C-alpha cells in the first residue's frame, strides 16, 4: 500500500513539471524509498524512468516545482555516484 502511495506521489510531482502535451508520468518504471521505514515520510524517493529522454525533460523543467505551494518541501535532483556526491 505504501509503495502505491509513493508511486502516485512521484507521478503527481512529474505531472507538475511536464508540459500539458507530455505524458512523462506514464514512463515511471520503479519508485524506491531510500533508507529504513520510520513513519515520518521524510526519506528520499528514487524514481527510475523508462527512458533517458523523459529524465532529461523532467530535469529541464524541474524549476516549475518552485511555484507549487502544495509540494514546497519536495525537490528533484539527479542520482549521483559516490564520487559526484563527495565533490558536491
- Burial degree of 28 (CB within 10 A; 0-12, 13-18, 19+): middle
For residue 17, is pLDDT > 70? yes
- Could you list the residue range(s) of the whole structural domain that residue 16 is in? 2-87
For residue 36, is pLDDT > 80? no
70 vs 20, higher pLDDT: 70
Q: Are 27 and 37 in contact (CB under 8 A)?
A: no
Number of domains in the chain: 1
For residue 87, is pLDDT > 80? yes
Question: What is the pTM for the complete model shown?
Answer: 0.75
Question: How many CB atoms sit inside 10 A of residue 88's CB?
Answer: 7
Q: Mean pLDDT throughout 23-38?
A: 85
For residue 40, is pLDDT > 80? no
Amino acid at each position: 500500500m505504501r509503495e502505491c502511495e509513493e508511486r502516485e506521489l512521484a507521478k503527481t510531482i512529474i505531472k507538475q513539471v511536464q508540459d500539458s502535451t507530455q505524458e512523462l508520468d506514464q514512463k515511471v518504471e520503479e519508485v524506491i524509498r531510500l533508507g529504513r521505514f520510520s513513519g515520518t515520510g521524510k526519506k528520499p524517493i528514487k524514481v527510475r524512468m523508462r527512458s533517458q529522454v523523459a529524465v532529461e525533460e523532467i530535469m529541464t523543467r524541474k524549476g516549475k516545482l518552485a511555484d507549487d505551494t502544495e509540494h514546497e518541501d519536495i525537490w528533484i535532483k539527479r542520482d549521483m555516484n559516490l564520487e559526484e556526491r563527495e565533490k558536491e
